[in-house]
Amino acid sequence: MSKKVFITGIAGFLGQNLCRVLTEKGYEVSGVDNLSVGKYEWLPDDIKKTTYIGDVSEFKKRKFYCDIDYIIHLASKKIPRYGGSDKVLLENAKATSAIVDIALKTKAKLIYLSSSDIYGQQSEFKETSGSIIGAPDIMRWSYAISKMWSEQLLYGTYSSFKDFNFNIIRLFGSYGPYHALSWTAGPQSVFISQALKQEPITIHGNGSQRRCFQYVDDAVDGIISIMESDCNHEVFNIGNPHEDISINELAAIIWDMVNPYKSFSFKYTPQSTEKYEEVAMRIPDITKAKQMLGFNPKIMLKEGLARTIEWQRKVMGL
């Protein structure tokens, strides 16, 4: 009998990609999504039949989730660039609390998608590194704090329930088909849209921030490797450290791939109307995932961007 995987945020970027691969591997996949960002129409028809539309925190009141082997908790409100930090804190905490309850009742193994944002302004990115979070009036840190709270909840629950099985993934900048066509998906999505429309590229801050971007196929491989492993109560960084790049450089590469030999311009803008603090660098240390899981991302930036640009061109009808 095939094993059953339940995905929160199944209609979102990672959920869309993950459900397809899991189905191909023979898993029975179901999920939940409130469609605040995710696109129901993008889901495969067979997955639509097993997707509940609504909030994660409400889903636990239903009874048809009782036979689950794995839960992958992707659903999350993102960094509040333009306000709403209270919703980020409260809704993320409420959702994780509900999922922990379901995991305890079903005895399912829980895979929690945390974030590299948990490191804050830290310049070392090992799983054992501490976190450097900014002042409480800087709204952007509400997302990181909600992820830290959730990680603490998992370990706190384990201290009370020793049969509670989970692993934590701190994901670093992923991109690819089915990502949102907005800043929710990260800068590459907006840059591709602007390049396709031959508009000036919008840069938040001065563009010197350095990042490593991971194509979604590699991210999905990492998630499934952790789900299928014997590891328990572990934290893993999953990302691609092979090509760190500035945001300015990323914008230039995308423009040249879409519009070769055509000149372009940057449009620099403040981060948002809210108080916002940028992170200078985010380069993953994946030593632990390599050693324990054999994880090593394979798809380099230009190859991944080419696939993403092709998909985004079709979605935008250009």
- Domains and their CATH numbers in the chain: 4-175+213-238 (3.40.50.720), 183-210+243-316 (3.90.25.10)
Residue 272: pLDDT over 70: no
CA neighbor of 205 nearest in space, from 283, 119, 277, 117: 277
203-214 pLDDT per residue, tens: 988 899 999 999
Characterize 182-219 residue by residue with b for buried, 16 or more Cβ atoms within 10 angstroms of its Cβ, and e for exposed: ebbbbbbbbbbbbbbeeeebbbbeebebebbbbbbbbb
CA neighbor of 177 nearest in space, from 39, 59, 25, 52: 39
* pLDDT of res. 63: 56
Residue 64: pLDDT over 60: no
d(CA 130, CA 119): 7
Q: Among 110-114, 199-203, 271-275, which stretch is predicted with the lowest mean pLDDT?
A: 271-275
154-179 pLDDT per residue, tens: 999 999 999 999 999 999 999 999 99
pTM over 0.85: yes
Strands of 231-289, DSSP E: 235-238, 244-246, 266-269, 281-282
Residue with the larger pLDDT of the pair 276 and 137: 137
230-266 pLDDT per residue, tens: 999 999 999 999 999 999 999 999 999 999 989 888 8
Per-position DSSP letters for 111-168, written without gaps between them = EEEEEGGGGBT-S--STT---B---TT-TTHHHHHHHHHHHHHHHHHHHH-TT--EEE
Rg (CA), the chain: 19
Q: What is the rounded average pLDDT of the residues 274-288?
A: 87
